[in-house]
Amino acid sequence: MGRADGDDLRRKFLSACDVGEGALGELAGRFLVSVGWGKKNSLQRNRIGQAERVPHRAGRKPHAGVDVPQQVRVWIAAQPDLTLAEIQDKPNRQAAVKLSIPQIWHLLRKMSLQLKKSLHASERDSEANRRQLAHL
């Protein structure tokens, strides 16, 4: 994997584009970079307004706004036996925010909240009840 190019090369390339020293393909050849690199950096500068490299933010990107985690905490405090599907439905109806079940699950883990209902626990309980009834 290649290393990141320095900001000085980006600035020189973009300033040459601004002055009109040539087309993007010609400038790419002159600066020994690919045309795709030149397009990407030109579009980035037009989009965010800076020539410097944008630092990479690793990890999962948040899909819910700032209000949704606070609201989910309120819902779970009020009704601790909500299922993931019920939690998923509430922001969709109330805030027009569509979150998938895995996104809800990740949100709950990030907030250190646990659901009271567990499918596995209910299966274990029903299996234990069956065993008790069989011994009677």
Q: What is the pLDDT of residue 35?
A: 92
Residue 1: is its pLDDT beyond 50? Answer: no
Q: Measuring CA to CA, which residue among 47, 11, 51, 46 is closest to residue 31?
A: 11
C-alpha gyration radius of the chain: 27
Q: What is the largest CA-CA distance in the chain?
A: 92
Q: What is the pLDDT of residue 44?
A: 86
Distance CA 80, CA 103 (A): 19
What's the N-to-C CA distance of the chain in angstroms?
67
76 confidence band (pLDDT: 50, 70, 90): confident
User: For all residues of the chain together, what is the average pLDDT?
Assistant: 77
Q: What is the pLDDT of residue 79?
A: 84
Q: Measuring CA to CA, which residue among 104, 87, 97 is closest to residue 67?
A: 97
Mean pLDDT over 26-36 rounds to 90
- Report the predicted TM-score, pTM, of the whole model to 2 decimal places: 0.43
Structure tokens at 42: 């030109």
